[in-house]
Structure 1
Amino acid sequence: MTRIKICGLTRPEDISFVNEAEPDYAGFVIHVPGSRRSVSPEEAARLRARLAGKIVPVGVFVDEPLENVTTLLENGVIEMAQLHGSEGEGYIRELRARTGKPVCKAFRADTEQSVRPALHSKADYLLFDHGSGGTGKAFDWQLVSGVKRPFFLAGGLTVENLCTAISTVHPWAVDLSSGVEQAGQKDREKILAAVAAVRRWDL
């Protein structure tokens, strides 16, 4: 089964779209300066309260203080932390030890050499993207085709290339954000189509 995550949710209507589409994960970019999809912890909590119970809420962070991420996990605002900054193995171990919740660590995948450190990470899941901060661009998927650990494939994924991506590298999950947007906002039809494409592939 290929899981699917819709990331960068910022509005109540975004939550309505994902509740209708029923992806496996919903992502909130929390307190990331410079990101147009960033929401405050309080906004994330309000959006999470609207989220259907079967969809796992994920918090996306960039070098956020450990205490802040721990609080959001312990309070149930999120059920998984996705780390896109310079967080090291000690940070990952401590976060898991404090909360018992899964941790996903993002890695840049632009060369074979850049992928190697991910294979030794203590994170529960890996995420591969064209850039660690999320660029909306696809990378050479063959770079991660031999990865045996569960990983999220991100970067430049759209309804049109989802099935090709899945058939090429067989990721544990796919992660979409800008690929399900129209004019910079989440688009209901694109979200529905993306989730439907993944579910059809699994059949």
Structure 2
Amino acid sequence: MEPTKRPRVKICCISSVEEANLAIRYGASALGLVSEMPSGPGILAEGMIAQVAAIVPPAVSSFLLTSKVDTLGIIAQQRRLGVNTVQICDRLLSGTCDDLRQALPGIAIVQVIHINDKESIEEAVAVAPHVHGLLLDSGNPSQDIKKQGRTGRNHSWEISRQIRELVDVPVFLAGGLTADNVADAIQQVQPFGVDVCSGVRTDGKLDEMKLAKFFSQVEASFLS
């Protein structure tokens, strides 16, 4: 897949309609809405997820981050909340991504790949034909308390680059991105999009100055 020259920006851990509107105003093309998770920041009540999803304009993707591992549960959750994208943060144990695509026509299915070692490449290549996109993050779902992303940590951009070159679906790069490193990350990986949570927040709240700086650095990577 030829990467897009101007990466899209997904602002994750959106906590309110106000944060959603702020992110969109700065140019976010996707918002991350975190449902119940075993760990990590930004978890949002389903009522608020539905409220935010309802105000998102058609050109912006509303990503539901779900820790559910059964397709029936994910299908029911999407239908309750009205998001247009489902981000699967764990490995499915019941049903398949193809089942989700069949049950949810018009809804994008994005699988998170937690980058830990070379096995992540095999996992990404195997699942890519069955989803609309991949999101490469720094979690570890194998731990006793699963870390399903939103860790604020970098991972191997070299592995991410290899995955991006091997798959034919859009790839979002996440994991510890900030205004200080996002341009380098884009140059190295050339992802379809970048995903940021803690890197644009202060004390857990979306920080307008950090947001502006992050978008300017994304723009700089495109122009360089």
TM-score (norm 1): 0.89
Which residue identity lines up with residue 131 of structure 1 in the other structure? G
Distance change (3 Å), C-alpha of 1:145 and 1:89: farther
Q: Identity of aligned pairs, percent?
A: 23
Distance in 2 between the 1:21 and 1:179 partners?
Answer: 15
After superposition, what is the alpha-carbon deviation per residue over 1:87-143, rounded to whole angstroms, capped at 9, x for unaligned?
159431111110122211111112112322111102221111121511110012011
**Where in structure 1 are there 5+ consecutive unaligned residues?**
none
TM-score (norm 2): 0.82
94-103 vs 28-37, which moves further:
28-37
Query: Offset at 1:188?
Result: 1.8
Distance in 2 between the 1:175 and 1:193 partners?
Answer: 15
Distance in 2 between the 1:59 and 1:13 partners?
Answer: 18
Match for 1:110 among 111, 116, 122?
A: 116
Which residue identity lines up with residue 173 of structure 1 in the other structure? G
Match for 1:43 among 48, 60, 80?
A: 48
Residue 188 (structure 2) pairs with residue 168 (structure 1):
yes
Which residue identity lines up with residue 12 of structure 1 in the other structure? V
Distance in 2 between the 1:140 and 1:172 partners?
Answer: 17
Residue 139 (structure 2) pairs with residue 131 (structure 1):
yes
**Residue 68 of structure 2 aligns with which residue?**
63
Distance change (3 Å), C-alpha of 1:72 and 1:125: same
Match for 1:20 among 15, 22, 25?
A: 25
10-19 vs 31-40, which moves further:
31-40
**Where in structure 2 are there 5+ consecutive unaligned residues?**
1-5, 141-147
After superposition, what is the alpha-carbon deviation per residue over 1:45-67, rounded to whole angstroms, capped at 9, x for unaligned?
11223334421111001125433
Contact 2:69/2:91 (8 A) holds in 1: no
**Residue 99 of structure 2 aligns with which residue?**
94
Which residue identity lines up with residue 116 of structure 2 in the other structure? D
What is the alpha-carbon root mean square deviation over aligned residues? Answer: 2.1
Residue 160 (structure 2) pairs with residue 144 (structure 1):
yes
Distance in 2 between the 1:129 and 1:82 partners?
Answer: 12
After superposition, what is the alpha-carbon deviation per residue over 1:161-185, rounded to whole angstroms, capped at 9, x for unaligned?
1110000011111110011111122
